[in-house]
Amino acid sequence: MSRTCDACAEATLAPFADLGDIPVLCGVHWADPEAAEASPVGRMVLAYCPSCAYVRNVAFDPAVMVYDTTMDTNLHHSPAFQAFSADLVKHLADRYPLSGKRVLDVGCGQGEFLRELCHTAGCAGVGYDAMYAGPEGPDASGAEFHSGYAPRGAGLPEFDMVTSRHWFEHIDDPYEFLVDLRQRAGTRPVYGYLEVPDACYDLSTAGWEVIYPHVSYFDAYSLVRIVQRAGWRVEDTGTLFGGMFRFIEMSANVDGDRKGTEPVPGPADRARQLAAVATFRERHEAERAAWRQRIGELVERGARPVLWGAGSRGVQFLTFADADQRLAAVVDVNPRKWGRYLPVTAHRVDPPETLSTLKPQAVIITNPSYRNEIAADLKRLGVEAELLTA
Ligand SMILES: [Zn+2]
């Protein structure tokens, strides 16, 4: 598992936390509990770069991580994420000269973001995603969609901006991916926007977002390093969505001042990430134990604790804290998940409306960004429960 750092290529990655076997398909839900229980697991061994603080699962096996249209890692079911995404579209359309140009969206999900960007910025778009389940080809928005992985090299259409949201951290060869896009830009002015989970957030907290599909964990410094090493100029970088996401805007063949106003991340940012790495294993193990105990206590006093949110964070939380299914229910706002079973732990997912009759006294969430949204939903459902953030 010895591997040279993907981001800076200056050091060998050093393992710091072995999380054992975890669900591979954490965005997939099954029709029956037996199939869910039998779903594949993969090993997670986190390693970091002493030189740039990049973190990667060095046990990742691309052969077991195959994406298809039955998967749903879509965040667009949440109003909080939709509002955030709409702001981002407006920001990109204001900042970059996209009118009449073509945007390539790698990992476009179900196309919501690219359609909105085409509509707002007056550009054309091409989106690729192996999980895209809609109609293929052009649609009325000016965007066209392909169900499948984006091609590399000459297979890619010419583009003036490349966007990739919550996909870059999934790929086995992030450096080659950026080099390929840079080569495709040639001598034309091209912009780019990448959005990933912020590793400094993920590794400073319990680690529910450390999931098998996430191969890489980029903080401010390592993301800048890999982008620059691949031949791009950094225009701007920072965090979004309550600090959980990190973005980087980049360009090729563009002169003039950098777009961002903040300094490009340096050694102080790297030190912050290295500190998070140094304490991660101990914190993660303590959180797992504490939540197992807390759920046990809630069950014992008849509080019927439930988990709200059956996304990847929820699945990872259940794997670590409720493999023995002591929670009274797991609910999610996504109708595609209702009545289906989550990987490995085989919890069934129910609609939030079921809480009206279950009347839990404790509702656990794993994503603080959705706290207000969920609190409002609970009120609407007439559920008076303590809201606990894991
Ligand atoms: Zn490195």
pLDDT for position 74: 65
Distance 25 CA to ligand 1 centre (A): 28
Supply 147's token pair. 């169900």
Q: For residue 126, give the nearest of 112, 153, 107, 144 by alpha carbon.
A: 144
Residues 243 and 362 in one domain: no
Distance 2 CA to ligand 1 centre (A): 13
Helix (H, G, I), strand (E, B) or coil at 223: helix
Distance 13 CA to ligand 1 centre (A): 8
* Residue 70 located in a structural domain: no
Distance 190 CA to ligand 1 centre (A): 26
Supply 154's token pair. 């000459």
Residues 85 and 39 in one domain: no
Q: What is the rounded distance in angstroms from the CA atom of residue 250 to the CA atom of residue 264?
A: 12
Range of the domain at 37: 14-57
Distance 215 CA to ligand 1 centre (A): 15
Give exposure, 342-371, as e/b (b: 16+ Cβ within 10 Å). bbbbbbbbbebeebeeeebbbbbbbbebbe
Distance 105 CA to ligand 1 centre (A): 27
Distance 305 CA to ligand 1 centre (A): 42
pLDDT in tens, 44-77: 999 999 999 999 999 999 999 988 887 766 666 6
* Residue 347 located in a structural domain: yes
pLDDT tops 90 at residue 26:
no
pLDDT for position 79: 80
Q: For residue 207, give the nearest of 19, 58, 15 by alpha carbon.
A: 19
pLDDT in tens, 359-386: 999 999 998 888 999 999 999 999 999 9
Distance 62 CA to ligand 1 centre (A): 21
Tally the domains of the chain.
3
Distance 134 CA to ligand 1 centre (A): 38
Residues 198 and 297 in one domain: no
Residues 217 and 316 in one domain: no
Distance 43 CA to ligand 1 centre (A): 22
- Helix or strand run (H / E) with residue 23: strand 14-23
Q: What value does the mean pLDDT take over residues 184-200?
A: 96
Residues 232 and 297 in one domain: no
Distance 93 CA to ligand 1 centre (A): 33
* Residue 330 located in a structural domain: yes
